[in-house]
Structure 1
């Protein structure tokens, strides 16, 4: 038995933070510099009263409405998030109830970041192939904006909020190939929120960033990525008996355009085979790949083989090749 990506939908919050908004608050910051270094013009941000469970339900409802999916047919729910409503219960349980899924539907959270979509696909594939579930919905949802201090212009320029819902089943458009996964926890402190949970978030001092806020050591994250990702891609190509030449399209986690361009050149991927799609979304963490993939599929371009790769916080990385049925 095989497992397939059958459908993808996503949800973007209605509030938009543009480069001009950021520059208005930080006059020393330049809009063109943001575009050149990060590749983002605008990003969607959740309201103060809007949380991960809210955008997850919206993405799931979009999936069912856009693709005529019966909620009663969904028998497992995976919610990948690092900005849960609460430490406990799991956000997946909240989403199951609010979305109206069956009480016989399994529901768990995955605390995973930029590689979360790949990890989630690997778990969904296992559930389908093992016969535990027939229709798994993987939701990737982050409200990173709530982690970021109002005066942190760098991270506010990078990250956006979003949720994506992907249906994985025993039939569909793209078959899931072999996975490559990896972890190096030595770098855990370089992208971290030391305190947290979203709905009852407490602040120590709002006048400057603190342990309640997102901290990112950008240079160390870049160094990790530069070292880990080329080996990841080579390993996954080997596992799937593919080469750069035989892959139709590469879709990496949309971290920032500077990093993506560096990786593309280092791995020798032709520019026309390398998708960059983050200008109007920002870095939406685990949702960058499904958003870019959904947009690609909507163009009715029949890529035979697409290599997906996620990497970042943890450190953690993963890749898989998906095959057009």
Structure 2
């Protein structure tokens, strides 16, 4: 089987991470040839580091005949059986090329708002007839609500998978180590975390909080942490290429985002056996091992952290191992990639 993954977006997002994870897994376990097509930059660089074959594409305007012709040439040369796209520009270039060649198109949608109820979207969908792939039921229901031209059977849910740590957690750190790996932007809710940690420190609790990432709120958050006298409780790691190594050094993952689809960061943390304390938004509850760790009110968030800080070490270690086991059974990358593989074969059998 030969698959072309196409992504014209400029910024790194969850779909790009999913693309590389799945392409690697399919190559390794299903002997599938995957090629990655996108703009010059970190996405293609990372794909090449992972020994995936890439094509640099200059997309230009929508329906660009030069770009469409280039895709046709590549798809023919590579004998592509399926084209997996991300956003509208992908559909209006690579999707057109695939339709001309009678190649099935799969549209991987990361958020309900990524597809708009506009006439060009409706017409392209009617003509190309792509299958839509989403990472959680929350996104599927959002699409059906926002896009009345879609039918439920057109949308397939495959929960995002990650490669679990090869061994379960072996220790709980002293003091308890919290970590967040979201971008430092206002919608990620870091302020709420800092205010909660300030209250915990005032109550005499010992802990440490690792903040990974950068963003437009970075300086504001650092000033707030200083005002709340939390500098001795926080390490700012900035951008990190290997987040998983830092996750191994923590015990509790905190996700305070005000909106999410299905967050890769939460999945990565659970793959390492971290206890996931998350705001109940988007598809988070679809992957949470227990509603005990979900919160909506700030008081409940504080209470969850207090309970964890008061829990005996051996119970916390048992909990971390249970989360690792839960993840391995439910969200293993191999399992989810093979689910996609099966769907592709079924699409081909119906052509």
- Provide TM-score, normalisation by structure 1: 0.29
More strand by share: 1
Give 1 or 2 for the bigger CA radius of gyration. Answer: 2
Higher relative contact order (CA 8 A, sep 6+): 1
- Provide TM-score, normalisation by structure 2: 0.27
